[in-house]
Amino acid sequence: MSDEMGVPVYNNNNNNSSSDHDQSYVVDIYPLSNYYFGSKDAIPFKDETLPDRLLRMKSNYAAHGLRTCVEAVILVELFKHPHLLLLQIRNSIFKLPGGRLRPGESDIDGLKRKLTRKLSLNEDGNDIGWEVAECLGMWWKPDFETLLFPYLPPNVKRPKECTKLFLVKLPVSRKFIVPKNLKLLAVPLCQIHENHKTYGPIIPGVPQLLSKFSFNIIDS
């Protein structure tokens, strides 16, 4: 429908669909105090040195091709500000919860399996409590070195690794059971933003990826 000058006229019949679309960009965040944190037996680290890691990556690439990793963006509330849950390894390295997919495994199933292994007591790989939402972004590794790009460089025909970030929405409460050799930390978004020196190439970009969402902080 248009007016006499041919200018489109807004149609109120689209209100419902617009409202539904807006709702999909609202993320409920619950207080950190709603969640229980415990520990379980340590899990072994595969990579003791960088050369060991590079050797394993080359071997896996030769056998299976592109390595795909999936990581979770999980938010909680503390001091009225969104905090991101991060795993700390050896008191120095920060990582988003997640890991590498098995050959033929889907992104969602693989992420649920990794979250269950690292954040739950039950390790059967099928924790129905994980609500994996949309993919927030992808990073590419053109070679076996540590450099990552938030795009695939045009001259790269055979990338070695792809890392995908997914928003994972928490229920009002749950138990986090973490291996003893890992620490689960809640870090404020304002501390993470562009702090590449501390958090590496991917994590500091998470606040920007979340900028399209509205946070609905729910008091306990």
Output the pTM of the full model: 0.86
What is 26-217's CATH number? 3.90.79.10
Whether 214 has a pLDDT exceeding 70, the answer reads yes
Residue pLDDT, tens place only, 161-182: 999 999 999 999 999 999 999 9
Please give the Cα distance from 161 to 141 (Å, whole number).
5
- Which residues touch 80 (CB under 8 Å, ≥6 apart)? 217
Please give the Cα distance from 76 to 83 (Å, whole number).
5
Residue 151: burial class (beta carbons within 10 Å; 0-12, 13-18, 19+) = exposed
Residue bearing the bigger pLDDT, 140 or 145? 140
Residue pLDDT, tens place only, 9-39: 334 444 554 455 566 799 999 999 999 999 9
Please give the Cα distance from 192 to 199 (Å, whole number).
7
Strand partners, 215: 27
Task: Give the per-residue pLDDT at 5.
Answer: 37
Whether 92 has a pLDDT exceeding 80, the answer reads yes
Q: Across all residues in the chain, what is the average pLDDT?
A: 88
Please give the Cα distance from 27 to 73 (Å, whole number).
12
- Which residues touch 56 (CB under 8 Å, ≥6 apart)? 46, 47
Strand partners, 187: 84
Q: Where are the domains of the chain?
A: 26-217
Residue bearing the bigger pLDDT, 219 or 14? 219
Element (H, E) at 139: strand 131-141
